[in-house]
Structure 1
């Protein structure tokens, strides 16, 4: 039984994410933090007759750090959906300057109040915000790369759904678990349809269909932003994706079976397979790959998948690597200024 803290719990992602977490039998305490509206969210959730208790934490002013530190105290798992949502015409990079400061401040709170927690970063742009969290935790001397996760699970969720939609009579989204590697924005997202159970279905598609499918996975967020017509971005699907990764981490704490998920991680020597992975991705310090989860976080990087991809996917990977290098550097520079 664990304590989970949600930072940004009153937002478009934070509310449905908190609802899903409230229903998880492994969670004993749900700690909700936000700078606005969070008491109402907590009161609403507290009426649900699941076992998890809810506590809310609202700062009394911009200078008040007590609410954040109290929310985080004793947390085993911290999920960060905080930040400004993407609006029509906005790229993830447009969000950077606003969200980077928010993320850095929250990471400082984690360093002080829950340094041993698993940390899941949802706030965009993930390719840059994860390095910000890492550098901030390093600065405080509490960094554990095995416990830092960039949530790229939405790309997998979309990849599963979109290929199933092309074969409605033969398959359903839950049949698949496509590995999506690289990063979490645009062309840094590389779905590996050629590997695993989707391989034969993918090969049946025309070149134009393949191109459209890949593009839809890479830019699925734009599809939602346009459909909401200025009223929001991908919040419900992102909440589900964040919950799925959190659920897998909680499962790995108690289950003896192997739990594997893709996540955007720091490729450091302390993690098994990370050095091999780093060589295969051109020396990048951060990359999304399937990892084996365990009681201490990321136990192993399943880098072998990089040796099985198709020639077309190798080309996508080259584009992704070039963009990712800039995104990562942007985050590291911000955090170390």
Structure 2
């Protein structure tokens, strides 16, 4: 009897180990066979410590893989769901071997999207095709807009209260697309829909730090507007620590920050876009959202959100994050003449991008 009990316990332990790598089968995307002992319910469902449930949609892509690694390292994450239409089992197996607290589960293909999303607190969307040499962010629209729509329809159905971080380009259009999808589903909460523009801030901090001879971690540059070309407007007059720049430095820094993505695309010579720095920025912003959900005070980041700081329906600026997502949109502060001119240019292009996203859903 005792021997049978020990054998049963051993079988259950083996099943628990295996179940992390074996999500439920999808009829059109069969993965590995899963018996009754291998069901996810027999897993360590809440992780080693209290935390939040996070899903990455597009987890097998150039951004998704390093982002999955970084989120597996985040102590605030208890369950990490990795979803993609290809290659998820391999990424899941790889990431799941890391000895951190989060339980990792993989989901492959459209039939498993709902399982990937059910019960999530935070959903991060890097899914989509990357930008290639000679391709503008606008060229990405027709492909990535459809992907964003499908994924947001799943979110509206399975986790309508989740915080949603949109990375898929062009962000200036995909965030309005998500908003329209949620509106049609009756689940839209503007506080919970955030476009990730953190990479622009990360670049600004780095480039300004180089000019000032400072550790970029000690530099804070607000970046407003949007997440493409001239819509990216660093407020160099509001850099912390306070400093002054020559007009030549302002022009150089602004141009480099606005064209940081192109700099990487060209440097990779067709082999990819800004995936690693984007994953870092996305993980940094996701961590801020999780700390806000936890109730930490004073969490302020720049993000592209539904906003009234300008006459546009969406705009990137500093926001205060909390338990409900965006709890306060902070004022832009005083702008100098160069920044006011840049703001007008940004608004003109942003208006077109926003309308393009709205029209894609409502056409």
- Say yes or no: TM over 0.5: yes
CA contact (8 A) 1:28 1:51 kept: yes
CA RMSD of aligned residues (A): 1.0
Which residue of structure 1 lines up, in the alignment, with residue 220 of structure 2?
Answer: 177
CA distance in 1 between partners of 2:242 and 2:255 (Å): 18
Is structure 2 residue 324 aligned with structure 1 residue 296? yes
Residue by residue, what CA displacement relative to the aligned partner does 1:268-326 show, whole Å, maximum 9, x if unpaired? Answer: xxxxxx4xx1xxx2x100000101111011111101x24x1111100100100000000
Structure 1 unaligned runs (5+)?
60-64, 268-273
CA contact (8 A) 1:178 1:198 kept: no
> Among 207, 220, 240, which residue is 2:280 paired with?
240
TM-score (norm: length of structure 2): 0.85
Which residue of structure 2 lines up, in the alignment, with residue 93 of structure 1?
Answer: 138
By how many angstroms is 1:199 displaced?
Answer: 4.0
By how many angstroms is 1:210 displaced?
Answer: 1.5
Larger radius of gyration: 2
Which residue of structure 2 lines up, in the alignment, with residue 285 of structure 1?
Answer: 313
Displacement over 4 Å in runs of 4+: none
Which residue of structure 2 lines up, in the alignment, with residue 41 of structure 1?
Answer: 91
Which residue of structure 2 lines up, in the alignment, with residue 271 of structure 1?
Answer: none
By how many angstroms is 1:118 displaced?
Answer: 0.3
Residue correspondence of structure 1 range 55-204 to structure 2 within 5 A: 55-59=105-109, 65-168=110-213, 171-200=214-243, 203=244
By how many angstroms is 1:57 displaced?
Answer: 0.5
Return the structure number with greater relative CO, CA threshold 8 A, min gap 6.
1
Q: What secondary structure does 2:236 align onto?
A: coil
Residue by residue, what CA displacement relative to the aligned partner does 1:236-287 show, whole Å, maximum 9, x if unpaired? Answer: 00001111111001111224421101100012xxxxxx4xx1xxx2x10000
CA contact (8 A) 1:193 1:199 kept: no
Aligned CA distance change for structure 1 residues 260 and 266 (closer, same or farther; 3 Å): same
Which residue of structure 2 lines up, in the alignment, with residue 270 of structure 1?
Answer: none
Aligned CA distance change for structure 1 residues 4 and 26 (closer, same or farther; 3 Å): same
Residue correspondence of structure 1 range 245-324 to structure 2 within 5 A: 245-267=285-307, 274=308, 277=309, 281=310, 283-303=311-331, 305-306=332-333, 308-324=334-350
CA contact (8 A) 2:80 2:103 kept: yes
Which residue of structure 1 lines up, in the alignment, with residue 48 of structure 2?
Answer: none
Q: What secondary structure does 1:24 align onto?
A: coil
Which residue of structure 2 lines up, in the alignment, with residue 15 of structure 1?
Answer: 65
CA contact (8 A) 2:295 2:323 kept: no
